[in-house]
Structure 1
Amino acid sequence: MEYKGVGFILAFCSGLMNAWTFYHAQTFATVQSGNVVQIGYRLAQADWTPFWYSVGAVLAFGLGSAACGFVMTDNLKAGHRFTSAILWCECVLLTVIGILSVLKIVDYPIFALIISFIAGAQGNAFHKDHGMLYGNVAVTFVVQMAFNFLAQSFFKKDGIHNESNLMWAGVFFLVLFGFALGGAIGAFLDMNVFDNLSLFTASAAFMGLAISATRSRTDADPAPGATFV
C-alpha cells in the first residue's frame, strides 16, 4: 500500500466518491475542510437541511476513521494484516450503495454519509508512500508538499531517504492528478453515461487492490510509523 501507483489509485477513487456525493447530495465525501466551510456558510444562511447534511458528513468521516483504527489495532495485536479487509469492505459497501441507488431504495444523502464513513476509514488506513505521509482523501497537504519539494529540487538534488526531491514532487503531483482525474471521470460517467457508474468504478478499483494485497507474498500493510520531513 506504499507503492506510488497505489497512492494514485486511492486518490482516483476519492475523486470518484467526491464526484458522486457532490453531484447527488451537495456534500464532499472526503474533503472535510469543504464540509466544515459549508457548515458555517449554511448556518449563516439558516439553510438547515443542507447544514445537517454537512454536519453528518463530518461526523461520518470521523466515525469511519475511528472504526478503521479499531480494526487496524485489533488485527495488528492478533498478528494479522488489515489491508485486504478494509479494501474489501470499501468494495462491498460501494457496490451495495450503487445498486440501491440505481433502484432508488434510499435517499442520496444517507448514501453520502456512508461514503464519508468509507472515506474516513480509507484515509486512516492508507496514508504513506514508502514511509512518507501523504493524503489520498484530502489534498491540501498534498498541494503544499508537491510545490515544496519542487522548490527544494532547485537547491538540493536529494531529499527524504536520499531520494530525489524532484521525484518526491512527482509523487505528490501524481496524487493530485489522480484526485482530479477521478472527479472529472466520475462526474462525466454519472451525468453522461450511467448514473452511479462512478461508484461501481471505484468499487472495481478497490477490488483490484484487495486482490493484489491478498495475493501479495509480502506484508501489504503500510509500515508502522511515518515521517513528515
Structure 2
Amino acid sequence: MSVSMLSTFVKPMHREGRKFVAIAAGITLVLFLICEYLGWIGVGLTVWVYYFFRDPVRVTPTREGLMVSPADGVVSLLEPAVPPAELGLGDRPMVRISVFMSVFNCHVNRLPMAGRITRVAYRPGKFLNASLDKASSDNERNGLAVELADGRSYGVVQIAGLVARRILCEVVEGQTLMTGERFGLIRFGSRLDIYLPEGVSPLVCIGQTMIAGETVLADFTSEEAPRSGGVR
C-alpha cells in the first residue's frame, strides 16, 4: 500500500481521544480473555473510537471574504434567529446556519472566518436531539463571538446533542485565529450554529454536506442571493 493510499484511511487523532482509545483497548483485552467473539467486537469498538476522534488535515480556502464551515455534517437549519444573548451580538435576528454532526462525522471544530475572539460564553442546558430547532436555545452550549477586521462580528456556537456530553473549547477571549484553525471539539454527536453578519447571504442549502475548514458557507465580497438547491 502506498503512502498516499495509507493516508486516505489512517488519519491523525485529536489528543482528546487518546484516553478513550486506551479505555476501549483495555476493555477489548478483557473481552478476549472472556470470549474471542466478544474480543473482536471490542476491536471494532476501539477502531470506531479512534475514527470518531480523527483530526484530518484540511485545505482551507484563503481568499479574503470567504467563510467556511466549522464542522463536518449536514446543514439542518437555515433561517433568521436571534443569537444567544451571552454572545453580546444584539437582539436582532441574524441568518443562522446549523450544521448537524452525526456520531460518524469528524467532530473537530474549526473557525469559520479569521478574526479576534471577543467573547467565549458557556451555558449549561439540556441534551435534546441536536437536529431539533429548540436545541439552539435549550441545550448545553458554548459560543464564540468573533470580530472581523472590518469591525463586523459573527457568532459560532457549539451545541451538545442527545449523546454528546462534553464540549471542548480550546480558545480564550482576545485570541486571534485564522480561517479554518481548530478551536474545539464536541464528543459523540452534536451541532454547530453560525450567525452571519447583516447583509451576508449563505451560499449553502438545507441538506448539503459540509466539510469543516473547506466548504464555503458565505462570501462577504459577493452580492449573490441566497442559494436554493435540489436533491439529485
TM-score (norm 1): 0.32
Which of 1 and 2 has higher RCO (CA within 8 Å, sep 6+)? 1
Task: Identify the structure with the greater helix proportion.
Answer: 1
Task: Identify the structure with the greater strand proportion.
Answer: 2
